[in-house]
């Protein structure tokens, strides 16, 4: 018999819901993005995000059921992101999912957002079976993780300062490219020379698998300021390409070190920055050179979505891990705490 999971995601600026069959087959994947609203402010405004989630969540969930051709009665469990993320936005999804669970009597499953991003890979065919190494790169996280098995994670390295996506967004803003910066830098970089500027590739001494992007970001900002003071023209495409190359070089080299050290032969990418074309190509090439099997979800499953939450929720569900109705939002939820 098939198992149908409804997955709800509202941790940042996407209100999303999806129905997934047997943790694998996506029957619907509805994403209502607030990017246009937050772009006016140059970044996500938590209070505005919360209000928009409240206005949209009902319709998004209804559409996901309708597109799947199902009703609430057909759903076996409701999975929802309960952290990490912005507390107001998280509370909207958690409260809504709790109400659905209470009203229908179906089990509630709290999902860690980072585990959700990793689980987007389980929606692929073929999909990676643990153990595998996963690099989760998003607006809020840069985590290099050894996935021992579902629910058991060892964080091998993480960012000591800015997340990779945050660095993209800040540099894009300085270049006048607008929000969110990642896709804009990606596009602009295609026209530029990645070797034009040698921006620093920072390494963290304490743990060589940790990341630091604030030095790189400052170096780009200082360079842009120096041009401004001299009244010289900014070669936006070259700066974008050189900055992107510096980020990708570090992400690839740390990931390959993690694979070498662990001896694991499977690698997966996840999170919004995993949509980056230069990162996808660079990682695929480095994996091929080492005989490592490489997995990356399509961009629609890299960005925040409900399908990845349903995929993770399904795996918790079949392990009997369900949440009680006193589930609360945990803005700084850690991955190992699962």
- The residues that touch Zn ion, with contacts defined as CB under 5 A, are 138, 304
Reported in sequence order, the residue ranges of the chain that DSSP labels E, i.e. its strands, are 4-9, 14-21, 25-33, 77-83, 108-112, 132-137, 142-149, 152-158, 266-270, 293-295
Q: Which does 182 bind (CB under 5 to 8 A by kind): Zn ion, ligand KG4, none?
A: ligand KG4
Sheet holding 4-9, edge to edge: 25-33, 14-21, 4-9, 77-83, 108-112
Q: Pick the closest to residue 244 from 309, 190, 163, 316 (CA basis).
A: 190
The burial class, CB within 10 Å (0-12 / 13-18 / 19+), for 118 is buried
State yes or no: residue 276 binds ligand KG4 (CB under 6 A): yes
Q: In angstroms, give the least distance from the CB of 40 to ligand KG4.
A: 16
**Cα gap 322→338, rounded to integer Å:** 12
Q: Of 5, 6, 12, 26, which one interacts with ligand KG4 (CB under 6 A)?
A: 12
Q: Of 140, 282, 297, 313, which one interacts with ligand KG4 (CB under 6 A)?
A: 140
Q: Which does 18 bind (CB under 5 to 8 A by kind): ligand KG4, Zn ion, none?
A: none
Q: In angstroms, give the least distance from the CB of 75 to Zn ion.
A: 23
CB-wise, 77 or 163, nearer to ligand KG4? 163
Residues in the interface with ligand KG4 (CB under 6 A) total 19
CB-wise, 4 or 213, nearer to ligand KG4? 213
CB-wise, 75 or 118, nearer to ligand KG4? 118
**Cα gap 123→300, rounded to integer Å:** 12
Q: Pick the closest to residue 188 from 247, 243, 269 (CA basis).
A: 243
**Cα gap 237→242, rounded to integer Å:** 9
Q: In angstroms, give the least distance from the CB of 120 to Zn ion.
A: 10
State yes or no: residue 273 binds ligand KG4 (CB under 6 A): yes
Q: Of 130, 139, 157, 313, which one interacts with ligand KG4 (CB under 6 A)?
A: 139
State yes or no: residue 88 binds ligand KG4 (CB under 6 A): no
Q: Pick the closest to residue 220 from 187, 189, 179 (CA basis).
A: 189
CB-wise, 157 or 272, nearer to Zn ion? 272
Stretch that binds ligand KG4, among 122-130, 135-143, 233-241, 316-324 (CB under 6 A): 135-143
Cβ count within 10 A of residue 225: 11
Q: In angstroms, give the least distance from the CB of 67 to ligand KG4.
A: 21
**Cα gap 180→65, rounded to integer Å:** 29
Q: In angstroms, give the least distance from the CB of 317 to ligand KG4.
A: 23
Cβ count within 10 A of residue 198: 10
Stretch that binds ligand KG4, among 55-63, 226-234, 250-258, 273-281 (CB under 6 A): 273-281
Q: Pick the closest to residue 64 from 322, 305, 332, 248 (CA basis).
A: 305
CB-wise, 33 or 262, nearer to ligand KG4? 33
**Cα gap 330→86, rounded to integer Å:** 9
Q: Which does 81 bind (CB under 5 to 8 A by kind): ligand KG4, Zn ion, none?
A: none
State yes or no: residue 168 binds ligand KG4 (CB under 6 A): yes
**Cα gap 284→281, rounded to integer Å:** 5
CB-wise, 23 or 116, nearer to Zn ion? 116
The number of C-alpha atoms within 13 Å of 158 and in the hemisphere containing its C-beta is 14
Stretch that binds ligand KG4, among 119-127, 178-186, 191-199, 309-317 (CB under 6 A): 178-186
Residues of this chain that bind ligand KG4 (CB under 6 A): 12, 138-140, 165, 168-169, 180-183, 186, 271-273, 275-276, 303-304
């Amino acid at each position: 018999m098939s198992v149908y999971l409804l997955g709800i995601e509202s941790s940042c600026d996407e209100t999303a819901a999806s129905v997934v069959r047997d943790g694998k087959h996506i029957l619907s994947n509805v994403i209502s993005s607030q990017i246009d609203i937050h772009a006016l402010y140059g970044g996500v405004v938590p209070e505005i995000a919360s209000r928009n989630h409240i206005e949209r969540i009902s319709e998004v969930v209804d559409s996901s059921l309708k597109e799947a051709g199902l009703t609430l009665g057909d759903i076996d469990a409701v999975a929802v992101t309960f952290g990490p993320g912005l507390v107001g936005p998280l509370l909207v999804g958690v409260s809504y999912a709790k109400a659905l669970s209470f009203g229908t009597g179906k089990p509630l499953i709290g999902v860690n957002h980072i585990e959700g991003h990793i689980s987007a890979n389980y929606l692929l065919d073929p999909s990676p079976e643990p153990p595998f190494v996963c690099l989760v790169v998003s607006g809020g996280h840069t985590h290099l993780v050894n996935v021992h098995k579902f629910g058991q994670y060892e964080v091998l390295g993480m960012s000591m300062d800015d997340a990779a996506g945050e660095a993209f967004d800040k540099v894009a803003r300085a270049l006048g490219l607008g929000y969110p910066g990642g896709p804009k830098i990606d596009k602009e970089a295609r026209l530029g020379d990645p070797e034009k500027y040698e921006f620093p590739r920072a390494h963290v001494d304490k743990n060589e698998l940790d990341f630091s992007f604030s030095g790189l970001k400052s170096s780009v900002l200082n360079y842009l300021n120096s041009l401004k003071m001299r009244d010289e023209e900014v070669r936006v495409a070259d700066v974008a390409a050189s900055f992107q190359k510096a980020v990708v070089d570090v992400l690839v080299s740390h990931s390959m070190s993690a694979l070498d050290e662990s001896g694991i032969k499977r690698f997966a990418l996840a999170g919004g920055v995993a949509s980056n074309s230069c990162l996808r190509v660079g990682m695929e090439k480095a994996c091929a050179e080492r005989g490592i099997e490489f997995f990356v979800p399509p961009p629609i499953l890299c960005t925040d979505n409900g399908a990845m939450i349903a995929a993770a929720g399904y795996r918790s569900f079949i392990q009997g891990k369900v949440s009680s109705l006193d589930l609360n939002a945990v803005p700084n939820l850690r991955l190992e705490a699962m």
